Structure 1
Amino acid sequence: MLRRLVQGETPPTQAMSIVERLAGSPYANPLVRTGGPDASARKTLDLALGLAETMFRYGAGALEVETAIIAVTAAFGLDSIEVDITNQSVLLNYSPKDQTPITVMRVVRSWTNNYAGLGLVHQLVTDIIDGGVSRAEASNRLNEIMHKPKPFPRWAVTFSTGAFAAAIVGFIGGGPLASAVAFISTFLVSLLQRVLGRWRVPDFFTTAASGFVVTGLAMLFWSVDVPISPGIVVAGGILLLLPTGRLVSAVQDAINGFPVTASGRFLSAFLTFGALVAGIAVALVVGALLGVPRLDVTQVTGSQYPFAVTLLLLAVALGTICVVEQSPMNLVLPTVLTGLAGFLVFQLSELVGVGPRLTPAVAAIFIGMVARMIALRLGAPQLIVAVPAVLFLFPGLSIFRAMYGLSIGSDDITLGAVGIFNALTVILAIAGGVVFGDNLARPLTRNLSGNDRRNRRR
């Protein structure tokens, strides 16, 4: 007894079982089959790769993909599994004792907005590790998910992009005319992106062209004496172009120990950010060459509407971004309510005096916590609720002001550079806050996944 107290049950040099990697994840405590490894292990590996590829395409983080693979392979009796995930590929190695090892790899080359599909894959993995789905049935369900139409048609997504821009412009301080201009410019950008995507134009140039169109139309309407604020119109138009989901996933991967995947996603996100900044800068320079008067970008305005109308505009923006991201129908209202609660926390943090850089991070932490609790209760990963709910926190107006200082006039270059740095700091703080909130909520959500599953088996 004394020897056990001193030494412990497990020698300190023994390797950790890969199934223990699931601790704290939504797939904890899977039902591991005890009948020995399946004779057709290759089919199980192919199923796991198909799940991983689909989750990556729909925007899941590397940790969620890895835990899903481990849970599914363990549920089908494969315990000698090693998983290696990079930015675009998933590699599985199955090496049972005294048998020929099997190594398979899948490369993910395309991405799409389909949070509804991601939620269905999450539910499929949950059903597999509960022990109620065979491998053949799981393969059929995965195939149905991959070929299932998205919940919202294309025309609804196009209309929702304009409605989001109009609502968010009114939310941050624009009037009805500014919202109308934002709706028109974002609607045209959506059509432009569809055409450029059909022509196989790289995303970098597509994003740059979109930023140019949004800024150019705002400057055009302002130059013909339409009473709008171009900065607010551009801020509302570029929020949808910011790589919100990739930034959150990149920060999550970096924190959770996936440096290669995080580096790739950070590079992709910052290239998108650079393309957006380049499009804004080119539009500003072209406007200056055409004689557009200088703007007063230092003026700070709040919402022109009563507080109740401001909340309504934010609710419309949150609901339309769920349509754009193809969120599940049953998660649209919870996402809207989570975002509204996050806005109230944002307002409270401002009243307390937390500071302009930390206030968005505090709201993002709260949204990340609530999003995990709601999403897991409704059978979906946290990302589906958190990413649309935090979009209104991103500093679109600060980006426009900084780019105006860098592009127009030498007196504002220093202020522009400082503005870009502050905007990047706030963006990373928001992304980190979402991930931090997700981790803070783990002790509160244990009964929603692993422990609840284990208690049912008992």
Structure 2
Amino acid sequence: MDAREVNLTLDFCLRVGELLMSTGAGAADVTATMRSLSQHLGLRGAEVDVTYTSLAMSYQADPEAIPIHTTRQVKNRTTDYDHLTAVDHLVRKIVSNEIDLQGARIELGRIVSGGHRRPRWAVTLGIAMMAGTITIYLGGDLRVATLALISGAAIDQLQYFMSRRWELPLFYLQVAGAGLATLIAVVAATLPLNLDVSSSITANITVMLAGIAFMGALQDALTGFHVTASARIMEALVSTAGIIAGVTGGLVFAGAIGVDIVASVSTGASSLQSITVSVLGGAAAAASFAYAAYAPPRTLIPIAFVAAGAVALSVAVPGDVGRTWRVAVASLFVGLVAYSVASRLKVPPLVIVVSGAVPFLPGYSIYRGLSMLAQETPATTSVGLVALFTAASVALALASGVILGEYIAQPLQRRAWRIETRLSGPRLVGPLRRSTKSGG
């Protein structure tokens, strides 16, 4: 293979890795996918180095040859399951020898430049529906769900405007979104409507948490990519801190004008009717998130069923077990079923696991902790700190439960280990086994 073809192959692998990393794939998945691609395209023994912000590959044909080294920066990050699925299909076509390098480069360019199948207003609608249905999942009525729906749409448009107009970092977008959600709730609380506006705030906190890559951070930590895991965890903490800052500012404003917003959301379902409503709300919220993340239409109903099963399972767990363990059991279920569901739908399991876990994000614990801290009394301060600690434990239980489910459901084949020697965890993106045909 001449130097030109080596450079084209390395460039293609880096472009695929950049797109996977930017859409939320774990570093282990990105590394294994790039290595599989390079081997099937003729670069046996190519070295891959992946961090959160950059990708590097090097290839040396023999010990006496000059090594070729290329790098690529990961600049844009977004939750885009349409492009993720399209690239996943392209990778599978390459490793099964259905397409050559030239054709793969053309198809990848078509994927990147092709845009989305859904207009931007449809994404706003999906996020608004997600906020409204989470309110139903938390026990709110239709009036509060409508308020949350309006708030969700307003927050999405505000963040989209700020990111496009001023290109602000995510932290400031989260501050603005959380502050707007709280201010809308404060205005609604001043009206003679008798609304439980805390449900609306909680729902919108959950919506903003859904865009944070908890799954990828924990997967990187468990699979030995500690630098990338540290960067992702730091990004998640900063994004969550933005939400906390925005909500805290809104609560301070509410206290200044004499509006008392108490965290009265109930996450426990006691009757058959409330359990049914909670299950339906959780299912609709998961499907709405998937829709807003450009997931293929064929995945929406299966995602709703997966989330419904997880919510029903969490409700079935005895209440004295604690919310953290209930979330852990439910997320384990999501991880267990995601692999088989994804294989039938021909999408990466990441699409199923992230969407199915949406109802269990700790929006209620964060809001309850902040509302208690805002009262500034010793008793409420201790309760608030415990609630925030619970939110952190729920997030950890959610991510670790899903990853454990994937470990159990997706044992790696021995032949895959020969190709993907650095992969030490379950695959959420990329090919699972090597084709029996010659790799060229």
Q: 1:104 is matched with which residue?
A: 70
Q: 1:230 is matched with which residue?
A: 197
Which of 250, 253, 258 does residue 225 from structure 2 map onto?
258
Q: Distance in 1 between matches of 2:167 and 2:336?
A: 39
Percent identity, aligned pairs only?
28
Q: Distance in 2 between matches of 1:364 and 1:308?
A: 19
Which of 394, 398, 403 does residue 426 from structure 1 map onto?
394
Offset, 1:253? 0.5
In 1, are the aligned partners of 2:132 and 2:149 still within 8 Å (CA)?
yes
Which of 112, 119, 134 does residue 85 from structure 2 map onto?
119
Q: 1:211 is matched with which residue?
A: 178
Offset, 1:187? 1.1
Offset, 1:184? 1.2
Q: 1:368 to 1:68 in 2, by over 3 A?
A: same
Q: 1:283 is matched with which residue?
A: 250
Give the secondary structure class of the aligned counterpart of 1:106.
Answer: strand
Residue by residue over 1:272-331, the C-alpha shift from the partner in whole angstroms, topping out at 9 and shown as x without a partner, is: 000000100010011101111x34436746569554444333332222111111111222
**Is 1:182–2:155 an aligned residue pair?**
no
Q: Distance in 2 between matches of 1:48 and 1:257?
A: 21
Q: 1:67 is matched with which residue?
A: 32
**Is 1:76–2:41 an aligned residue pair?**
yes
Q: 1:95 is matched with which residue?
A: 60
Q: 1:437 to 1:109 in 2, by over 3 A?
A: same
Offset, 1:403? 0.3
Which of 235, 241, 244 does residue 274 from structure 1 map onto?
241
**Is 1:340–2:308 an aligned residue pair?**
yes
In 2, are the aligned partners of 1:170 and 1:179 still within 8 Å (CA)?
yes
Residue by residue over 1:11-67, the C-alpha shift from the partner in whole angstroms, topping out at 9 and shown as x without a partner, is: xxxxxxxxxxxxxxxxxxxxxxxxx78872111101101111111122211111111
Q: 1:10 is matched with which residue?
A: none
Q: 1:54 is matched with which residue?
A: 19
In 1, are the aligned partners of 2:139 and 2:278 still within 8 Å (CA)?
no
In 1, are the aligned partners of 2:212 and 2:236 still within 8 Å (CA)?
no
In 2, are the aligned partners of 1:398 and 1:420 still within 8 Å (CA)?
yes
Query: What is the 5 A alignment of 1:128-143?
Result: 128-143=94-109
**Is 1:377–2:329 an aligned residue pair?**
no
Q: Distance in 2 between matches of 1:337 and 1:298?
A: 28
- In structure 1, give the amino acid aligned to 2:44: D
Which of 136, 142, 154 does residue 120 from structure 2 map onto?
154
Residue by residue over 1:157-179, the C-alpha shift from the partner in whole angstroms, topping out at 9 and shown as x without a partner, is: 11121111111101211111111
- In structure 1, give the amino acid aligned to 2:95: I
In 2, are the aligned partners of 1:53 and 1:106 still within 8 Å (CA)?
yes
Offset, 1:210? 0.5
Query: What is the 5 A alignment of 1:282-301?
Result: 282-292=249-259, 294-297=260-263, 300=266
Gaps of at least 5 residues in structure 2 are 417-429
Q: 1:32 is matched with which residue?
A: none
Q: 2:367 is matched with which residue?
A: 400
Q: 2:436 is matched with which residue?
A: 454
- Structure 1 vs Structure 2 CA RMSD: 2.4
Give the secondary structure class of the aligned counterpart of 2:312.
Answer: helix
Q: 1:357 is matched with which residue?
A: 324
Q: How many residues of Structure 1 are paired with residues of Structure 2 in the alignment? A: 420
Q: 2:7 is matched with which residue?
A: 42
Offset, 1:106? 0.2
Q: Distance in 2 between matches of 1:152 and 1:122?
A: 20
Give the secondary structure class of the aligned counterpart of 2:318.
Answer: helix
Q: Distance in 2 between matches of 1:271 and 1:423?
A: 15
Q: 1:451 to 1:107 in 2, by over 3 A?
A: closer
In 2, are the aligned partners of 1:369 and 1:438 still within 8 Å (CA)?
yes
- In structure 2, give the amino acid aligned to 1:327: A
Residue by residue over 1:185-223, the C-alpha shift from the partner in whole angstroms, topping out at 9 and shown as x without a partner, is: 111111111211122122111110100111111122112
Q: Distance in 1 between matches of 2:432 and 2:248?
A: 50
In 1, are the aligned partners of 2:138 and 2:265 still within 8 Å (CA)?
no
Gaps of at least 5 residues in structure 1 are 1-35
Q: Distance in 2 between matches of 1:376 and 1:181?
A: 38
Give the secondary structure class of the aligned counterpart of 2:321.
Answer: coil
Q: 1:102 to 1:439 in 2, by over 3 A?
A: same
Give the secondary structure class of the aligned counterpart of 2:167.
Answer: coil
Q: Distance in 1 between matches of 2:71 and 2:121?
A: 37
Moved more, 168-177 or 313-322: 313-322
In 1, are the aligned partners of 2:139 and 2:274 still within 8 Å (CA)?
no
Moved more, 142-151 or 370-379: 370-379
Offset, 1:376? 2.8
In 2, are the aligned partners of 1:114 and 1:150 still within 8 Å (CA)?
no
In 1, are the aligned partners of 2:198 and 2:264 still within 8 Å (CA)?
no
In 1, are the aligned partners of 2:96 and 2:437 still within 8 Å (CA)?
no
Q: 1:72 to 1:277 in 2, by over 3 A?
A: same
Q: 1:301 to 1:140 in 2, by over 3 A?
A: closer
Q: Distance in 2 between matches of 1:397 and 1:245?
A: 16
Q: 1:381 to 1:299 in 2, by over 3 A?
A: closer
Offset, 1:78? 0.8
